[in-house]
Amino acid sequence: MSEPDPVSAGPAAPLPLCRFQPQSVQAIFDALEACIIVVDASLRVVSLNAAAAALFGRRTEEAAARPVCELFPAGSCPLDILVETLRSGQPIHDYQTPIVLPTGAPGHVLVRTVPLLAVEAPGADRASGVAMLLRDVTEETALRKEATARWRLGGLIGKNPRMRQLYRLVEDVAPSGATVLVRGETGTGKELVARAVHYASARADGPFVLVNCSALSEGLLESELFGHVRGSFTGALADRRGRFEEAHGGSIFLDEIGDVSPAVQVKLLRVLQERVVERVGDNRRIEVDVRVITATHRDLEALVAAGRVREDFYYRIRVVTLRLPPLRERREDIPLLVAHFLERLRGGEVAADAMASEAMRLLLDHAWPGNVRELENALEHAHVLSRGRTIRPEHLPPEIVAGLGPGAGRGLTGAPPHSPAERELIAAALARTGWHRARAARLLGIDRTTLWRKVREHGLRPDEGETPASRR
């Protein structure tokens, strides 16, 4: 009998890797530039290739059978994604975490997980191990931080042109010693501007004293600012220095200056002009060397017209005016602020998938009446509910998920997650597109994976006799 023609016989069945000697498979791994670590179901290292050994500064035999978390600094082991991959059997992509390089310098890697099934259980649903593919992104992270630093000034963050103009003004004004008025809506970060002015000035080593003028009555505010002597009023049991004296050699920040009464304005005007204070109940003049920074969210011009703010006081506090734009007018800064707040909440660098795209879309669409402070509170809310994992729409506060912003009524932003209203929106989009997943997802403003997850969650099915369209 003649030998079969290799061409006509068709392609040979692929040989599984387990048919080859383990040394041969390991040689392939070692030849790869990608870093590979294989762990078993107990999260102990089975093997690591040469690239991974070089990245962590460990020999393969040293790491074998040791807990994989020993390779990472405390608090940075990607334990959550390993457990999730073992549980779900699904890969997880692009999780960033810090490491310590062999030189002792800090580094960063991007981790991707691949579930591994045991040879004896090829049809098993649960993974018996995980392959971790790591990419060294230390240099990329450093460059990104360097670029981000250009959009920061002290605690202020933003790359919007108005924010960059504000940074330049702060740098110009800070060394001058001029009285500064910071204007902006509530929650925009006026105190951060005041601190930036103080710490960029020659007074940076002196005290920075903050007084919220709207929190105190007229009598208490006068005592708080200028101090008092014993017996000057009921309860004045001892002499007390005022906040202006405490700020000597530094800066005093008078927040909500528009709420100060005309009587206190007269006394403040004297301090601004002569740099002297008199304690309540005393007539001795005390000289103070202090820079005055004020702030308000009120319309000072309207208050002057109404007689609630003295005109001479108004012109004296607004020698230089710094204006903070509301968050809704600098939406391109929202991703920067999200990264900043999540880094602080999670104690370090956040992964690329820390915020799901549909959640970020809701943040970008929201009106933000409370500005940056509202965004910070919303992210803290989401951080708690997400338990440190990827933040999704259901983790955000209800008013944001409900779409109470310029994007309200579009897609799923008009319905709370897991609600009957959300189910109706999804069902309507699927019916309109003939159950075409890609088109329905575009209508709803979400990705296809999220759509199909919600379809299963709500138990939606095509009407009887209707064939689902392509689900590409």
- Please report the DSSP string for 81-96 in residue order: HHHHHHHH---EEEEE
C-alpha 196/C-alpha 190 separation (Å) is: 10
More confident residue, 33 or 5: 33
pLDDT surpasses 90 at 288: yes
* Tokens (6 digits) for 264: 């206190």
- What proportions of the chain, in percent to the nearest 5, are helix, strand and coil? 45, 15, 40
Lowest mean pLDDT of 73-77, 216-220, 233-237, 324-328, name the range.
233-237
Question: What's the average model confidence in pLDDT over 419-432?
Answer: 78
pLDDT at 80: 86
* Tokens (6 digits) for 165: 């103009």
pLDDT surpasses 80 at 173: yes
pLDDT at 267: 93
For 378-410, letters b (16+ CB in 10 Å) and e give bbebbbeebeeeebbbebbbeebbbbbbebeee
pLDDT at 322: 97
C-alpha 357/C-alpha 360 separation (Å) is: 5
* 121 band by pLDDT with thresholds 50, 70 and 90: low
For 237-272, letters b (16+ CB in 10 Å) and e give eeebebbbbbbbebbbbbbbbbbbeeebbebbeebb
CA-based angle 462:463:469, to the nearest 5? 45
* Tokens (6 digits) for 377: 């509170």
pLDDT at 61: 83
Alpha carbon of residue 172 to chain centroid:
29
**Beta-carbon contacts of residue 195 (< 8 Å; ≥ 6 apart):** 154, 155, 208, 253
Question: What's the average model confidence in pLDDT over 266-292?
Answer: 93
* Tokens (6 digits) for 137: 């992104």
For 15-49, letters b (16+ CB in 10 Å) and e give eeeeeeeeeeeeeebbeeeebbbbbbeebbbbbbb
pLDDT surpasses 60 at 406: no
More confident residue, 359 or 14: 359
Question: Which domains are seen in the chain, by residue range?
Answer: 17-137 (3.30.450.20), 152-325 (3.40.50.300), 329-458 (1.10.8.60)
pLDDT at 18: 55
C-alpha 10/C-alpha 8 separation (Å) is: 5
pTM of the model: 0.60
Best-predicted range by mean pLDDT among 58-72, 287-301, 345-359, 417-431?
A: 287-301
* Tokens (6 digits) for 258: 């528009």
Chain-wide mean pLDDT for the chain?
83
* 162 band by pLDDT with thresholds 50, 70 and 90: very high
Lowest mean pLDDT of 70-84, 103-117, 224-238, name the range.
224-238
Length of the chain: 472
Residue with tokens 């095509």: 462
* 441 band by pLDDT with thresholds 50, 70 and 90: confident
Amino acid (1-letter code) at residue 96: Q
* 447 band by pLDDT with thresholds 50, 70 and 90: confident
